[in-house]
């Protein structure tokens, strides 16, 4: 046993060396949060994707050197960085001075797949894709995969979906006359399955296509949403939203060549519609329009089944019918077990001199459940605004997040949890909700994802000169590490996982969490730096589930210790530091 542990020590030390800041972890202080990267220059446009071990990847654009580069960080469930402290450099190829949107997802092996644009091939931005392993290996080569064979064409906003058969579909804007949507499929090895040139979704006469978005479906297919308009981008006319499902875009599986999500025009050209997979191989679509031509924008939601059937009314269900009010930038989440859809949106009067935060719930057929006027979280008030409202569901819980932007003041992030009846679940968080980031500096684009027992949010923050920060929010309404990871009888994890202890360093006690995917004989033991066993925390049969064990080291000396989990054929070792 002693020899085995010593052989494992170098692996653990290598992991610690890669991280550069192994002691970083989720903060319980909303004024501090977890700094993903805040070095000289600005770090912007963060994206986040979860991993199966309760952690996540976070990527961003970074101009710490000349021009913008792309960086990536991986966090474990405790918020400990797994790459270098200031991120893993993905690409420092030449970049445009103005950035466009991009995308980041994870696959079934916890690899990270990124798609972004740069000007390495010339003056026009072109899209590229990378696949990075959990240990930071560039699986598609140091310079990724070149998605386009037309360096002189301006190509923006790549979006990714992983297919059920393990491939990756990427769609982006192909600027031409008229604009088109370009589509490429990559194999797990990075081979371009549609050939060297991407497939181009052709517009109808006079139509421009823009803002593609993707959601995975069944049998290797994906669902594509995109906008179409005539006229100029600034003064869009005949605005529509189209969707189609395909394995090969040349042979769509829904209405040929496309199905109409929205056809009534009157949409601001700058608005980017949203797509959300529904867990049953269908998709939700979210947008806002002024279909009644009253200079008021209203947010709408539509739901298509896997076969392309409209489950909500034609042209969507509005989040509110309050006359004379804008309902803007709706965030959406779906609860598959109840077939309910939740939204959070900003409401304002027509002059946008008063604003508030509202939420709404839809039934399976798109009927509003929280009155036709929605449920006010923050009623209309002056000197108040919000930005980029979002929400996520976990089991039968729904967590809402918004960015409070007080006019003439600063930005703060708040979250609140509701049950299906619309009642607040977290007590003591006040009218605004739980303060997720109460730093007095401005907040920019952010994203939130659900995790086991928590949600994770990342954003770009101006507290120094523009950095990327992140915070976990437990389902109990607290910040910081999760100390009770659920009831094993209720939640069954998909794999064996040993998580990093929290806190680390610690004095005198720390929590060790792990996941068991099937009934197993479990051993959890502590070893000192010499490899000597000093404590046996678990040595018994355990059912599948998620467990949290407290280790009290009040009788031990300061130093590095190791904890080893063995469950069936699974075994893993991690390091922790006791400081007295």
Half-sphere exposure (Cβ direction) of 250: Cα atoms closer than 13 Å: 5
Could you tell me which of 415, 549, 395 has the C-alpha nearest to residue 471?
A: 415
Cα 315 to Cα 104: distance, rounded to the nearest angstrom? 30
Q: How confident is residue 503, by pLDDT bands cut at 50, 70 and 90?
A: confident
Cα 88 to Cα 449: distance, rounded to the nearest angstrom? 21
Q: Residue 500: what pLDDT? A: 80
19 is written with which tokens? 């991280």
- Given a cut of 80, whether residue 508 has pLDDT beyond it is yes
- Extents of the domains making up the chain: 1-24+482-580
pLDDT in tens, 559-578: 989 999 999 888 888 888 89
295 is written with which tokens? 């200079």
Cα 194 to Cα 198: distance, rounded to the nearest angstrom? 6
Q: What residues pair up with 156 in beta bridges, in sequence order?
A: 173
Q: Residue 235: what pLDDT? A: 66
Q: How confident is residue 7, by pLDDT bands cut at 50, 70 and 90?
A: very low
Q: What letter would DSSP give residue 198?
A: P
Q: Which residues contact 390 (CB under 8 A, 6 or more apart)?
A: 331, 344, 400, 401, 402, 446, 447, 448
Q: Residue 511: what pLDDT? A: 83
Q: What letter would DSSP give residue 369?
A: S
What mean pLDDT is predicted for residues 195-211? 89
Where is pLDDT greater, at 423 or 236?
423
Q: Residue 16: what pLDDT? A: 29
Cα 214 to Cα 199: distance, rounded to the nearest angstrom? 15
Please give the radius of gyration of the chain, using alpha carbons only, rounded to the nearest integer: 24
Cα 200 to Cα 238: distance, rounded to the nearest angstrom? 22
Cα 76 to Cα 54: distance, rounded to the nearest angstrom? 7
Cβ-contact 285, 263 below 8 angstroms: no
Q: What residues pair up with 535 in beta bridges, in sequence order?
A: 526
Could you tell me which of 276, 324, 274, 279 has the C-alpha nearest to residue 298?
A: 324
Whole-number mean pLDDT of the chain? Answer: 88
Q: Residue 348: what pLDDT? A: 93
pLDDT in tens, 467-483: 999 999 999 899 997 65
- Given a cut of 60, whether residue 11 has pLDDT beyond it is no
Could you give the C-alpha distances from 182 to 174, 203, 273, 544, in angstroms and in order? 6, 11, 18, 45
- Given a cut of 50, whether residue 553 has pLDDT beyond it is yes
Could you tell me which of 340, 358, 356 has the C-alpha nearest to residue 348?
A: 356
Where is pLDDT greater, at 68 or 205?
68
What mean pLDDT is predicted for residues 84-93? 96
Q: Residue 18: what pLDDT? A: 32
pLDDT in tens, 308-347: 999 999 999 999 999 999 999 999 999 999 999 999 999 9
Lowest mean pLDDT, pick from 93-97, 193-197, 382-386: 382-386
- Given a cut of 80, whether residue 236 has pLDDT beyond it is no
Q: Residue 463: what pLDDT? A: 86
What mean pLDDT is predicted for residues 53-63? 95
Could you give the C-alpha distances from 24 to 37, 83, 270, 448, in angstroms and in order? 12, 12, 38, 20
Q: Residue 211: what pLDDT? A: 95
373 is written with which tokens? 């006027």
pLDDT in tens, 246-261: 999 999 999 877 889 9
Give the position of tokens 């806002």: 288
Cis ω for the linkage preceding 257 (within 30 of 0): yes
Give the position of tokens 């800041």: 21
Cα 65 to Cα 63: distance, rounded to the nearest angstrom? 5
Cα 193 to Cα 25: distance, rounded to the nearest angstrom? 40
pLDDT in tens, 264-287: 888 766 779 999 999 999 999 999
Q: Residue 427: what pLDDT? A: 76
Where is pLDDT greater, at 53 or 457?
457
Where is pLDDT greater, at 276 or 427?
276
Percent of the chain with pLDDT over 90: 65
Cβ-contact 100, 125 below 8 angstroms: yes
Could you give the C-alpha distances from 537 to 77, 282, 540, 550, in angstroms and in order? 21, 45, 10, 9
Q: Residue 233: what pLDDT? A: 67
- Given a cut of 60, whether residue 372 has pLDDT beyond it is yes
Q: Is the pTM of the predicted complex or chain greater than 0.95? A: no
Q: With respect to CATH, is domain 1-24+482-580 assigned 3.40.50.300? A: no
Cβ-contact 162, 176 below 8 angstroms: no
Q: How confident is residue 494, by pLDDT bands cut at 50, 70 and 90?
A: very low
Cα 575 to Cα 563: distance, rounded to the nearest angstrom? 7
- Given a cut of 80, whether residue 504 has pLDDT beyond it is no
Could you give the C-alpha distances from 292 to 221, 241, 267, 301, 435, in angstroms and in order? 36, 17, 11, 17, 38
- Given a cut of 90, whether residue 352 has pLDDT beyond it is no
Q: Which residues contact 484 (CB under 8 A, 6 or more apart)?
A: 453, 476, 548
Helix, strand, coil percent values for the chain (each to nearest 5): 5, 50, 50
Q: Residue 205: what pLDDT? A: 77
- Given a cut of 50, whether residue 77 has pLDDT beyond it is yes
Q: Residue 490: what pLDDT? A: 33
Q: How confident is residue 514, by pLDDT bands cut at 50, 70 and 90?
A: confident
Q: Residue 13: what pLDDT? A: 28
Half-sphere exposure (Cβ direction) of 461: Cα atoms closer than 13 Å: 28
**Structural element, H or E, at residue 17:** helix 2-19
Percent of the chain with pLDDT over 70: 92
Where is pLDDT greater, at 22 or 501?
501
Q: How confident is residue 10, by pLDDT bands cut at 50, 70 and 90?
A: very low
Strand, coil or helix: what is 151?
coil
Where is pLDDT greater, at 353 or 365?
365
Q: What residues pair up with 391 in beta bridges, in sequence order?
A: 400
């Amino acid at each position: 046993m002693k020899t085995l542990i010593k052989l494992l020590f170098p692996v653990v030390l290598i992991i610690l060396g890669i991280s550069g800041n192994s002691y970083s972890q989720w903060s319980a202080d909303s004024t501090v949060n977890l700094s993903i990267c805040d070095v000289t220059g600005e770090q912007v446009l963060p994206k986040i994707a979860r991993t199966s071990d309760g952690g996540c990847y976070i990527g961003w654009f970074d101009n710490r050197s000349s021009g913008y580069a792309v960086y990536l960080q991986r966090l474990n469930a405790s918020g400990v960085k797994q790459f270098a402290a200031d991120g893993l450099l993905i690409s420092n190829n030449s970049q445009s001075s103005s950035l466009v949107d991009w995308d980041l997802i994870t696959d079934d092996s916890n690899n990270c797949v990124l798609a972004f644009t740069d000007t390495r091939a010339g003056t026009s931005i072109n899209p590229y894709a990378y696949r990075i392993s959990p240990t930071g290996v560039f699986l598609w080569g140091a310079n990724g995969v070149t998605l386009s064979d037309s360096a002189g064409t301006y190509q923006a906003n790549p979006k990714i979906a992983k297919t059920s058969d393990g491939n990756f579909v990427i769609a982006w804007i192909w600027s031409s006359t008229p604009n088109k949507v370009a589509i490429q499929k990559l194999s797990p090895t990075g081979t371009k399955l549609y050939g060297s040139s991407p497939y181009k979704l052709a517009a109808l006469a006079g139509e421009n296509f823009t803002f593609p978005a993707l959601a995975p479906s069944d049998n290797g297919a994906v669902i594509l949403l995109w906008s179409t308009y005539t006229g100029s981008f600034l003064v869009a006319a005949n605005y529509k939203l189209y969707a189609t499902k395909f394995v090969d875009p040349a042979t769509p599986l829904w209405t040929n060549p496309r199905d109409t999500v929205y056809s009534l025009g009157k949409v601001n050209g700058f608005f980017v519609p949203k797509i959300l997979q529904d867990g049953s191989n269908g998709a939700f679509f979210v947008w806002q329009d002024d279909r009644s031509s009253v200079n008021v924008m209203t947010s709408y939601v539509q739901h298509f089944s896997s076969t392309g059937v409209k489950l909500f009314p034609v042209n969507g269900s509005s989040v509110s019918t309050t006359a004379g009010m804008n309902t803007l930038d709706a965030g959406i989440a779906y609860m598959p077990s109840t077939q309910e859809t939740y939204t959070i949106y900003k409401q304002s009067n027509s002059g946008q001199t008063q604003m508030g935060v509202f939420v709404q719930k839809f039934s399976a057929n798109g009927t509003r459940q929280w009155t036709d006027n929605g449920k006010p979280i923050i009623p209309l008030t002056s000197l108040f605004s919000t930005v980029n409202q979002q929400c996520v569901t976990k089991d039968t819980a729904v967590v809402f997040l918004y960015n409070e932007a007080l006019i003439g003041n600063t930005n703060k992030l708040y979250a609140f949890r509701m049950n299906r009846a619309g009642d607040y679940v977290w007590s003591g968080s006040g009218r605004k909700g739980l303060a997720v980031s109460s730093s007095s500096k401005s907040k920019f684009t952010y994203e939130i994802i659900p995790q086991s027992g928590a949600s994770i949010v990342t954003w770009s923050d101006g507290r120094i000169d523009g950095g990327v920060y992140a915070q976990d929010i437990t389902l109990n309404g607290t910040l910081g590490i999760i100390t009770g990871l659920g009831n094993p009888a209720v939640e069954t994890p998909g794999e064996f996982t040993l998580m990093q202890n929290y806190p680390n360093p610690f004095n005198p006690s720390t929590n060790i969490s792990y996941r068991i995917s099937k009934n197993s004989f479990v051993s959890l033991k502590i070893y000192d730096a010499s490899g000597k066993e000093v404590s046996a925390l678990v040595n018994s049969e355990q059912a599948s589930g998620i467990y949290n064990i407290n280790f009290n080291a009040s009788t031990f000396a300061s130093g590095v210790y190791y904890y080893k989990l063995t469950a069936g054929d699974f075994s893993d070792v991690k390091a922790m530091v006791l400081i007295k």
